[in-house]
Amino acid sequence: MLIAVASGKGGTGKTTVATNLALTIGKDVQFLDCDVDEPDAHLFLRPEIERSEVVKVPVPEVDENLCNLCGKCQEICQFKAIVLIADRVLTFHELCHSCGGCFEVCPQRAISEGDRELGIIEEGFADGIRFVHGRLRIGEAMDGPLIREVRKRADDSSITIIAAPPGSSCPVVEAIKGVDFVLLVTEPTPFGLFDLKIVHRVVEILGIPCALVINRADVGDSGVKEYAKEKEIPILLEIPFDRRILELYSEGTALVSAMDSWKERFEELFGKIKKILQGEGNGK
């Protein structure tokens, strides 16, 4: 069972909800941090990293001795990553999307696979939680392929919690595509609502069942609740604004380990998610 936690707007409590949910489930749970730009979940789960792997993508290397300057590679490349200039073929690896088109099209077989480093994937254990995250290399623009690699580590046997990146564009799609359930986290403010609507649209397009957690539920205005009602998105948990919660977060202390009442509330949250998923399974 894959449960993704996404938010649209950043800083609404995605990491808080995802890590506390994982800690509440406790054992037989896997955690994938797909916010590879700024992976923060490890600061709260504190896993012992056991394996680290560099993730690379294939990019073209041109053998000038074989190349006959036909220009087919330039013609197929949609990303201007391989260009014929005068009597040379130049490659721009940072623009390459690794579609494989140039390798395939070259009649001279003059293009071989070099690689570009995207970042690393680290895996380890935090108590009973199997932990995986990706860390994008500083200066690398393409987070999508690294997120895909993190997603490949999901094992079907257990419950997997996925922390998605903020926003609503392709990295979010990579993180949540094909999951069983998306938990949307927002705050009840105009910014929170605007960004919720966009990410909810992504979830709708992908056809994934979802529900809502409202953080700092007692601030702002009623827009988010009205939207949830209109769109029939169930609200599974409301977390009030509490300076103590903010302070715990600032230190990297999980809510459920510091405050017993929150353990119960996250257990309830997980119960509600399971119930919704069983309902779906019965063809509701």
The binder of other proteins chosen from 219, 229, 264, 271 (CB under 8 A) = 219
264 is a site residue for other proteins (CB under 8 A): no
Under rule CB under 8 A, how many of the chain's residues touch other proteins? 63
- Contact between 49 and other proteins per CB under 8 A: no
Q: What is the largest CA-CA distance in the chain?
A: 71
Our finding on whether 168 is near other proteins (CB under 8 A) is: yes
279 lines the binding site for other proteins (CB under 8 A): no
Q: Taking the chain, what is the end-to-end CA distance rounded to the nearest angstrom?
A: 18
Q: Does 250 bind other proteins (CB under 8 A)?
A: yes
From candidates 27, 68, 141, 158, binder to other proteins by CB under 8 A: 141
* DSSP helix/strand/coil, 179: coil
Contact 269, 43 (CB under 8 A): no
Residue 126 CB neighbour total at 10 angstroms? 20
- Which of 7, 24 has the CB closer to other proteins? 7
Contact mark string toward other proteins, 94..123, x via CB under 8 A = ---xxxxx--xx------------------
Phi-psi region of 15 (alpha: psi -120 to 50; beta: other; left: phi over 0): alpha
How far, CA to CA in Å, does 141 sit from each of 38, 129, 228, 254? 13, 30, 34, 31
Q: Identify any residues that bridge with 186 across adjacent strands, giving them in sequence order.
A: 214
Which residues of the shown chain bind other proteins in the complex (CB under 8 A)?
A: 7-12, 15, 35-38, 40, 43-44, 76, 78-79, 97-101, 104-105, 136, 138-143, 165-173, 177, 189-191, 194-195, 198-199, 201-202, 205-206, 219-221, 241, 243, 246-247, 249-252
